[in-house]
Structure 1
Amino acid sequence: MLLIRRAAPAGPLAWTFPSRKVEVGESVERAAVREALEETGVTVEALSVLGERVHPMTGWHVAYVACQLLSGEARAASLREVADVRWVRLGEVAELVPGGLFEPVQAYLNGALPN
């Protein structure tokens, strides 16, 4: 899976999925596709919304969207927002994401990715 290291971490949360804000009139699926391109330079297809919550560390409303890579080489495309990008295996998440992943996201990834 693709994670980004934010240029300005939200407390202890530095590594996240590509994300930001949903624009007015935009679906969460379309926002996920747009943010992946803006932040990492990759083109993805939104597959499904995995769930939504208020993030316990940031207080932000977050929607999680499973996406499939279509094209592009991942890079820090928005240096103002992204310090680094990294493809990680599921087993590497614990060292990068304090508190682990949102349970519906973890469940989806358990079935979709190798450790």
Structure 2
Amino acid sequence: MTQRDADERPAIAAAVVVDEGRVLMVRRRVGEGRLSWQFPAGEVGPGEAREDAAVRETREETGLTVAAVRPLGGRVHPMTGRLMSYTACEVLSGTAHVADTEELAACAWVAHDEIPHYVPYGLFEPVQEYLDTALLS
């Protein structure tokens, strides 16, 4: 997959939601290669800001209302070839659950030391750095 291929499909916005010392992870019903657990995420709509898409996707997938705190960066995902952006988010209200039963199989609040169990291939470095600070302080 080339950068050009990634640019022709809508970008994916992911929400890195931290609350009470844990990060929210979701497991999709249909896997993408080795990807099993990941952050709430979905396609950015036409004219939609990436941060707004991350907030919207979190609400649609998990029922949580979150607010974007700050962008964490972007990349072409090495496993999917999709253009990804990552946004740090905080919980405003709600309880995380599988709200979109067609897309998600499960959701979990994951402690820092459990992340390698859920994401054994490692996280995007700026996301890992953010979680190292947010979850260990």
Q: Distance in 1 between matches of 2:98 and 2:124?
A: 24
Kindly provide the CA deviation profile for residues 44-82 of structure 1, in whole angstroms up to 9, marking residues without a partner as x.
Answer: 000011000011111111100000011101001001111
Structure 1 residue runs of 4 or more that deviate by more than 6 Å after TM superposition: none
Alignment of 1:1-115 (within 5 A): 1-114=23-136
Percent of matched pairs sharing the same residue:
51
* Partner SS, residue 56 of structure 1: coil
Does the 8 A contact of 1:89 with 1:114 survive in 2? Answer: no
SS at match of 2:136: coil
Greater fraction strand: 2
Q: 1:4, 1:114 → 2: CA distance? A: 21
Letter in 2 for 1:94: P
Structure 1, unaligned stretches of length 5 or more? none
| AA of the residue aligned to 2:33 | G
Counterparts of 2:38 and 2:70 in 1: how far apart (Å)?
A: 18
Cα distance, 1:12 vs. partner?
1.0
> How far apart, in 2, do the equivalents of 1:94 and 1:61 lie?
23
Query: Given that residues 32 and 65 in structure 1 are in contact (C-alpha distance below 8 angstroms), is that contact kept between their aligned partners in structure 2?
Result: yes
Q: CA RMSD in A?
A: 1.1
2:115 and 2:79 mapped to 1: Cα distance?
16
| Whole-angstrom CA distance in 1 between matches of 2:101 and 2:136 | 30
Cα deviation for residue 114 of structure 1 reads 2.9
TM-score (norm 2): 0.81
Kept in 2, the 8 Å contact 1:48–1:65? The answer is: yes
Kindly state the Cα deviation for residue 24 of structure 1 after the two structures are TM-superposed: 0.4
Cα distance, 1:99 vs structure 2: 1.2
The residue matched to 1:20 in structure 2 has which SS? strand
Give the number of aligned pairs: 115
* Distance in 2 separating the partners of 1:92 and 1:81: 23
Q: CA deviation at 1:98?
A: 2.8
Larger radius of gyration: 2
